[in-house]
Amino acid sequence: MESLNFDKYPFLAELGFEKESYGCYTNGEWKSGEETVNSVNPHDNSITATVKLATPENYEECIKSMEAEKAAWMMLPAPARGEIVRQVGERMREKKDALGSLVALEMGKVKNEGDDEVQEVIDTCDFACGLSRALEGKVLPSERPGHMMLECWNPLGIVGVITAFNFPTAVFGCNACIALICGNLILWKGSDTTPLVSIATAKIFADVLKENGFNSVVSLCQGNGIEIGELMTNDKRVPLVSFTGSTRVGRIVGNTVSKRFGKTILECGGNNAVIILDDANIEAALEECVSSAVDTTGQVCTSCRRLYLQENIYDDFIEKLVNSYSDIKIGDPFNDETDIGPLHNKAGVEIYKNAIEEIKNQCGKILTGGNVIEGDGNYVEPTIVEIDKDSEIVQTETFAPILYVFKIKDVDEAIKFNNDVPQGLSSSLFTNDLKNYFKWIGPLGSDCGVVNCNVGSNDAEIGGAFGGEKETGGGRVSGSDAWKQYMRRSTCTVNFSTSLPLAQGIKFDV
Domain ranges, ordered by start, for the chain: 11-268+473-489, 272-463
% of the chain residues with pLDDT over 70: 99
Across the range 498-504, mean pLDDT stands at 83
- Residue 386: pLDDT band with limits 50, 70, 90: very high
CATH superfamily of 272-463: Aldehyde Dehydrogenase; Chain A, domain 2 (3.40.309.10)
What's the pLDDT score for residue 505? Answer: 76
- Residue 508: pLDDT band with limits 50, 70, 90: low
Contacts for 397 with CB less than 8 Å, ≥ 6 apart: 247, 269, 270, 271, 305, 423
CA distance to 86, 456, 466, per residue, from 451 (Å): 30, 10, 11
**pLDDT tens digit string along 147-180?**
999 999 999 999 999 999 999 999 999 999 999 9
What's the pLDDT score for residue 83? Answer: 98
Alpha carbon distance 410, 280 (integer Å)? 13
What's the pLDDT score for residue 509? Answer: 66
- Residue 5: pLDDT band with limits 50, 70, 90: confident
Burial class (CB in 10 A: 0-12, 13-18, 19+), 126: middle
What's the pLDDT score for residue 19? Answer: 83
CATH superfamily of 11-268+473-489: Aldehyde Dehydrogenase; Chain A, domain 1 (3.40.605.10)
% of the chain residues with pLDDT over 90: 95
Contacts for 353 with CB less than 8 Å, ≥ 6 apart: 372
Quick check: 246 and 163 in contact, CB under 8 A?
Answer: no
* Domains 11-268+473-489 and 272-463 in one fold: no
Do you know the residue count of the chain?
A: 510
Residue 436 predicted with pLDDT over 50 = yes
Across the range 292-299, mean pLDDT stands at 98
Residue 364 predicted with pLDDT over 60 = yes
Residue 510 predicted with pLDDT over 80 = no
- Greater confidence, 506 or 453? 453
Name the DSSP class of 18. Answer: -
Q: What is the CA radius of gyration of the chain?
A: 24
What's the pLDDT score for residue 507? Answer: 76
Number of Cβ atoms within 10 Å of the Cβ of 313 = 18
Give per-residue burial for 347-368: e unless 16+ CB within 10 Å, then b.
ebbebbeebbebbeeeebebbb
What's the pLDDT score for residue 398? Answer: 96
Across the range 62-88, mean pLDDT stands at 98
Task: Work out whether strand 465-466 and strand 402-408 pair parallel, antiparallel, or are unpaired.
Answer: unpaired
What's the pLDDT score for residue 18? Answer: 87
* Active-site residue flag, 267: yes
**pLDDT tens digit string along 223-234?**
999 999 999 999
Q: What strand order describes the sheet that includes 36-41? A: 21-22, 46-52, 36-41
Residue 421 predicted with pLDDT over 80 = yes
Reduced 3-state DSSP string for 38-60: EEEECCCCEEEEEEECECHHHHH
DSSP bridge partners of 148: 494
What's the pLDDT score for residue 1? Answer: 46
Report the interhelical angle of 78-107 vs 170-181 (nearest 10°).
Answer: 170
Q: Which residue out of 267, 381, 397, 471 is catalytically annotated?
A: 267
Residue 115 predicted with pLDDT over 50 = yes
pTM: 0.96
Alpha carbon distance 264, 267 (integer Å)? 10
